[in-house]
Amino acid sequence: MFVQFRLFGPSELNSIIELTRNNLTERYNDFVFLDIQRTWPSAFILGMSDQTIAGFICGGLSGEKEARILMLAVDTPFRKNGIGTGLMSLFEQEALKVKADKVRLEVRTDNVEAINFYKNHGYSVSNLLPSYYNDGSDAYTMEKLLVQT
């Protein structure tokens, strides 16, 4: 599968909302996506298969040196083609550019597939957050130290 990566633009908001609805369990207001994009536009990255948005990643910076992945999703038909890996890698590169030395994320404790995916990309569980999600589910915090080259 030929995939290209590029930045998200606000005109693509509806596609991102649909992708989120189909692939993530939390629901977000439109302005959340636009806020994230405004705050760190170079880390709101899309994986494109032809003209279709196959997946995306976005995040923010918390504290001086910590980047946070806020959302990562690849649409079901496009999974296991390396798109998630590509998005993670580009996000980490953006984090390095702003001198972050760590990436942090939260994941549902029952999302075994994503937890394994993150572990295979160098992330480790660092914390348990009880009732973190709106539906009362628990989250793990996972972290990876970045190495400036």
84 binds ligand COA (CB under 6 A): yes
> Which amino acid is residue 79, in one-letter code?
R
Residues 25-54 that bind ligand COA (CB under 6 A): none
With b meaning 16 or more CB within 10 Å and e meaning fewer, what string describes 113-143? ebbebbeeeebeeeeeeeebeeeebebbbbb
Q: How far is the CB of 72 from ligand COA (least distance, A)?
A: 5
Site string for ligand COA, 96-115 (x = CB under 6 A): ---------x-x---x-xx-
User: What single-letter DSSP state applies at residue 42?
Assistant: G
Contact residue for ligand COA among 44, 56, 91, 117 (CB under 6 A): 117
Detail the DSSP E strand segments found in the chain.
4-7, 45-49, 52-62, 66-74, 102-108, 124-129, 139-145
116 binds ligand COA (CB under 6 A): yes
Binding-site ranges for ligand COA (CB under 6 A): 23-24, 55, 72-74, 79-85, 105, 107, 111, 113-114, 116-117, 120
